[in-house]
Copies of this chain bind each other. A is one copy, B any other.
Amino acid sequence: MGGVFGAYAPKGRHVLEDVYLGLYALQHRGQESAGVAWVQDASPRASIETLKGIGLLHNAINQKDLLAIEANIGIGQVRYASQGSSQIRNAQPIGARYARGLVAIAHDGAFSNATDLFDRLQSRGAIFQTQCDTEAILHLMAQQPDKEPLDALVCALAQLRGGYSLAVLLEGQLVAARDPWGFRPLVLGRRDDVIYVASESCALDLVGADFLRDVEPGEVLVIDDAGIESLRVPVKAERLYHCAFEYIYTARPDSIITGVSVYQARKNLGRQLAQHHECPQADFAIGMPDSGTLAALGYSEESQLPFELAMVRNRYVGRTFIQPTDRVRDLGVRIKLNPNAAVFDGKRVIVVDDSIVRGTTARRAVRMIRDCNTAAVHLRIASPPVRYPCCYGIDTPSSEELA
């Protein structure tokens, strides 16, 4: 999981501030590292340059330093560490020079055939300096030195199975690509003569761009002086596999994924929950913040139960990093969530969560709510059980750990 962003402007205009702002809007998709890449022409020969770092965007990248750089094409990524640890070497974009020039890739997703790819590439002499699947794309391109970079990229993509939404920087071109199964979202936007690609439409909103359309599953968009050209990855998907977690958990509610409003999707999950399962007697419904809130709102509308916002999520969780000392472990989920005892006192409450993965947080939260002198607590889950780990880039535990 992660978020990618790319921007292309005519020569003479600079886009790295927009890449920064785009990543800022996508921060919810990854907090482990952030990075930006561009082509620098100044030196004796052009080079791919990057600014990358660990943690939230403003810690990872010095905004002042970035704004001082002039580049008309740029890509960036925020990373959620599904593969590898959160070390700086795994921060993206990954840039390289190969026989046909420069290339940098920002990637959201994971390959189901990664092990095969690595073995095959290594047997042909590839070295891997990161722990990201993404590096394989660079090697697949490099092992076709007879092909133009764009052709080599498309041929490389044809060998991938699994999820990838990509922003790719070639010399003079921004390329966006989405896997044929449509696992991960990717959208296209425009503001005046600047073209953007982004994991979610909320990033287009922030930079003031208009949403043009989704990048289609299996589509490769080539953006350069000649405009926007659409190619296809020569792989036939038997069906689409949109990632349900985008709607349930990952995406921001103000994003539109494959034509569906995430906000409405979440409320609908809550509505259907109320329709298909009998509602217990209760005084009100609440959501588990933040991801269960909209499902709870839908549930409340359908069931005619009052809606309350009675669990408070500490706004600074994630920014004010807390050392996991014994005392902190003891306090557990209370570091993040606090039930508003005054609202719960003596009441029967329905708690709606978006999904259950390990179940640890839900269990602890319900216990805290019970301790608020509630008359009854009912937990309802808005999405079907998670049965198997995900191999397409969502960070899920092994089967044994699933609740």
Binding site for B on A (CB under 8 A): 17-18, 21, 24-25, 27-28, 47, 49-50, 56-58, 63-64, 67, 87-89, 94-99, 122-129, 131, 138-139, 141-145, 202, 205-208, 252-254, 256, 261, 263-264, 290, 293-294, 297, 301, 306-310, 312, 314-316, 318-323, 325, 327-328, 330-331, 334-335, 338-343
Contact = CB atoms under 8 A, between A and B. Distances in A.
B320 A57 contact: yes
Given A320-B24, A331-B206, A254 B88 contact: no
B261 A342 contact: yes
A27 B342 contact: no
Nearest to A53: B88
Given A63-B321, A63-B322, 9 more contacts: A21-B331, A57-B316, A57-B320, A95-B129, A96-B129, A127-B141, A205-B338, A254-B339, A315-B315
A99 B139 CA distance: 14
Contacts of A25: 314, 338
A129 to B, nearest CB: 5
10 contacts: A24-B335, A28-B316, A67-B325, A96-B128, A97-B122, A129-B129, A206-B335, A261-B340, A263-B310, A297-B308
A37 to B, nearest CB: 11
A122 B138 contact: no
B143 A125 contact: yes
Q: Which of A17, A293, A315: most chain B Cβ within 10 A?
A: A315
A256 to B, nearest CB: 6
Closest 6 CB pairs of A and B: A319-B319, A261-B342, A99-B122, A125-B143, A96-B127, A254-B340
Nearest to A340: B254
Given A67-B325, A139-B125, A306-B301, A319 B205 contact: no
Nearest to A57: B320
Nearest to A211: B341
Contacts of A315: 27-28, 290, 315, 318
Contact of A208 (B94, B202, B263, B331): B331
B309 A293 contact: yes
A186 B191 CA distance: 51
Contacts of A17: 325, 327
Contacts of A310: 263
Nearest to A101: B122
A339 B201 CA distance: 12
Contacts of A98: 122, 125-128
A156 to B, nearest CB: 12
B27 A316 contact: yes
A308 B307 CA distance: 11
B145 A127 contact: no
A60 B28 CA distance: 24
Nearest to A203: B338
A343 B96 CA distance: 43
Contacts of A256: 342
Nearest to A143: B125
Nearest to A290: B315
A131 B139 CA distance: 17
Contacts of A57: 316, 320
A75 to B, nearest CB: 16
